[in-house]
Amino acid sequence: GDSVTQTEGPVTLSEGTSLTVNCSYETKQYPTLFWYVQYPGEGPQLLFKVPKANEKGSNRGFEATYNKEATSFHLQKASVQESDSAVYYCALSERSNYQLIWGSGTKLIIKP
Amino acid sequence: NSKVIQTPRYLVKGQGQKAKMRCIPEKGHPVVFWYQQNKNNEFKFLINFQNQEVLQQIDMTEKRFSAECPSNSPCSLEIQSSEAGDSALYLCASRSRDKNTGQLYFGEGSKLTVL
C-alpha cells in the first residue's frame, strides 16, 4: 500500500541555519503531495501542496519540489526562525478515495 | 484561523464512561474525517463520512465508537466505554468533494484524558 517516510525527529537547529526535512513516498498512483505544520495546542494546518510532478510548492519561506523520479518531496528552508518550532508532516492523497497517507511527523526545535 | 469547530477542547473521563466530541465542518465541505493523534504525534484514521454516509472506518471504531454526521447538525464521535488507551487528541477535518487536489482542513481538536 501507499506509504510516506520522513526524517525522524526531533530536529534541533539554531536560528538562522538552514533546514531540510526528508520525505519519501511510495504509491502506484499519481498523488497530490502536502506539507502540513502543527503548532502546540493547535490542529494541523496546510503549509502548501503540490498536485503535479516536478513542480515546486512554497509558503512562508518553506519550499519542496515534487520529484516523481526520486519519489521525494523534501522540505527546505534557507534560514529558520524560532517561530518555526512545530511538528511538520509530509502527506500524500490517494486519488481513488479521500484518504491522506501521513508521515510520522518531524518535530522541529529552533533555538534562539 | 480554523473554520472547523470542535467542542469541547478538553474532556476528562473515568474508565468506562462515555466520551462525546462534536465537530462542525467548514461550510460547503461534505467530507468529514476523524483522527486520533497520540502523544508521539502519530495520526490514526478512525472514520470518514460523505454527507451522512460512512465511507470508511477501522475495526476499533466500528466496535467501540459511535459516530454520525446528521444533516443540519454537528458531526459527533462518541466512545461508548472509555479506556486509558483512548487518551489522545481527537481531530476532526473536512474537505471538498474534489479527490484530485482537496486538502484537509482541521479543527483544533478535543483532548481526551481517561483517568
Residue carrying the nine cell digits 473554520: B3
What pLDDT does B59 receive? 86
- Coil, strand or helix: which one is A84? helix
Whether the pLDDT of residue B1 is over 60: the answer is no
Compute CA distances B105 → A11, A103, B23, whole Å. 26, 17, 12
Nearest-Cα distance to chain A for B106, in Å, is 6
**Closest CB from A43, A46, A97 relative to B91:** A43
Residues in chain B with CB shorter than 8 Å from the CB of A89 are 43
Hey, what's the cell of B88? 489522545
| Average pLDDT, integer, range B5-26 | 97
Interchain CB contact of B99 with A (< 8 Å):
yes
C-beta atoms of A41 and B2 within 8 A: no
Q: What is the mean pLDDT of chain A?
A: 93
* pLDDT, tens only, B80-100: 999 999 999 999 999 988 766
For an interface test with A, the pick among B4, B51, B99, B110 (most A C-beta atoms closer than 10 Å) comes out as B99
Residues in chain B with CB shorter than 8 Å from the CB of A92 are none
What pLDDT does B96 receive? 86
Q: Look at residues A11, A96, A101, A88 and name the one whose alpha carbon lies nearest to residue A48.
A: A88
Q: Look at residues B18, B30, B23 and name the one whose alpha carbon lies nearest to residue B7.
A: B23
Secondary structure element (H or E) that encloses residue A11, with its range? strand A11-14
- Coil, strand or helix: which one is B62? helix
